[in-house]
Structure 1
Amino acid sequence: MKTRTRIAAITAAGIVAAGAFAGTVALATASPPMSGPGPGHGPVTTPRGGPRDGGCLAVPGITDPSGTLTEVQRTALAANAEEEKLAHDLYTEFARRYDTPVFDHIAASETTHLEAVRTLLSRYGITDPTANQAPGKFATPAVQATYDRLLAQGAANQDAALEAGRAVETADIALLRESLGGLTAPDVQRVYGSLLTASQRHLAAFDRWLSR
């Protein structure tokens, strides 16, 4: 459970203060998107909305072969599912409150991201912690607390909601980078690579809205 504890700490740090995750944002954006074959590439489609509104490349179909996952990597995969659900549920709620297309567009992207992670969970026989969970509800107490805190933060005004989105994407980037370390399973590498690129684009979209 050490990995899940680290994940909760990363997420919590992103909520406490913008300065806490600014360094992670810099790390995530320092490396340009990969080109050519490799994790995060393959057939892609472009969902509605341009870059300013959170549009990004969809996760490609999972056609790579399976590999072997350690127990830590299996735990991280389940944690990534909860992170994707948190992002989806939070942005969906903000989309109801604010007439800002970035929330609606990124929430749609998070739907495809969660389905990709769920496909991997099924492949590797890992229990899906997001199964049968209602919107805004999570199996892991730390994730539930994170969602509740971010939802309350975003209820203040639109900019506060955009800052909450930045915190989520920064935490996602940190989690995905950690999850990719030592990973050898081709199918999981590809999905994580795609999710990392998507989170970088989402973060950039929130930054553009905040600097408008």
Structure 2
Amino acid sequence: MKKQTIITTSIVAGAVVLAGVGVAIALANAPTEAPDAAPATTATTAAEAPPTADALATPEPEAAAPYDTATALLFLVEEEKLAHDVYVTLGELWDSNTFTNIVESESTHQELVAPLLEARGIADPRSTEVGVFTDPDLQALYDELVARGSTSLAEAIQVGILIEEKDIADLGVAIAAEDEADVVSVLERLLAGSENHLEAFERRA
């Protein structure tokens, strides 16, 4: 009887062991599922990013420099010198009275501006040498106008017209902005002279 019990117990124990092994084998052979992949994120590059309101805004234009009497006088006295020097150069080149008759007037224009500089303690920027200027823009303009006027007398006359038209425009701007009576008086005299010179050149054109 004891022998039978022992055998039965051994059989049950063996079955339990075999069942455990079977479960272990089943678990080992079961297909494993990969963990869910992290959701894809859409990276937005700088190039793809929508433009901001600041990027779409129209750039503000640079404000024009405020009018200044000293700056205006420095420019205008050299602008009168430019007219004088161009007319001296082209008058000698073409032996034309149209230029030589106006040269003296351009000297007078400069001498009208010079006292305004002195009264304000502003150093006179003019060179005593023909065709030499402190203002780089006027220097470039002188070189360009002389080169053009040297091609023919007809072109030289057109240069005279351009100079006087520019003088008239610049003087008009200065007169409108200026509030010092002595300066306005001189600028108006320069304007009248330039208008007369323009008429003289236009008659020859």
TM over 0.5: yes
Equivalences for residues 1-212 of structure 1 within 5 A: 72-130=68-126, 132-210=127-205
**Is residue 133–residue 139 contact of structure 1 (8 Å, CA) maintained in 2?**
no
Superposition TM-score, scaled by structure 2 size: 0.66
Which structure would you say has the larger RCO, counting Cα contacts within 8 Å and 6 or more residues apart? 1
Q: Distance in 1 between matches of 2:86 and 2:100?
A: 10
Structure 1 gap ranges (5+): 4-69
**Is residue 74–residue 125 contact of structure 2 (8 Å, CA) maintained in 1?**
yes
Q: Give the C-alpha shift of residue 184 in structure 1.
A: 2.1
**Is residue 94–residue 154 contact of structure 1 (8 Å, CA) maintained in 2?**
yes
Aligned length: 142
Q: Give the C-alpha shift of residue 71 in structure 1.
A: 6.4
Cα distance change, pair 99–133 in 1 and its aligned pair in 2 (3 A)? closer
Structure 2 gap ranges (5+): 1-63
Match of 1:19 in 2: none
Letter of the 2:161 counterpart: R
Q: Please list the CA deviations of residues 51-91 of structure 1 after superposition, one character each: whole Å capped at 9, or x if unmatched.
A: xxxxxxxxxxxxxxxxxxx9612101110011000000000
Letter of the 1:96 counterpart: E
Q: Please list the CA deviations of residues 149-205 of structure 1 after superposition, one character each: whole Å capped at 9, or x if unmatched.
A: 000000001110010111110110011001111322121111100000110110011
**Is residue 91–residue 99 contact of structure 2 (8 Å, CA) maintained in 1?**
yes
Q: Give the C-alpha shift of residue 99 in structure 1.
A: 2.6
Letter of the 2:185 counterpart: R
Query: What fraction of aligned residue pairs are identical, expressed as a percent?
Result: 39
Q: Which runs of 4+ in 1 moved over 3 A?
A: none
Q: Cα RMSD over matched residues? A: 1.4
Q: Distance in 2 between matches of 1:115 and 1:127?
A: 14
Letter of the 2:96 counterpart: T
Which entry has the higher C-alpha Rg, 1 or 2? 2
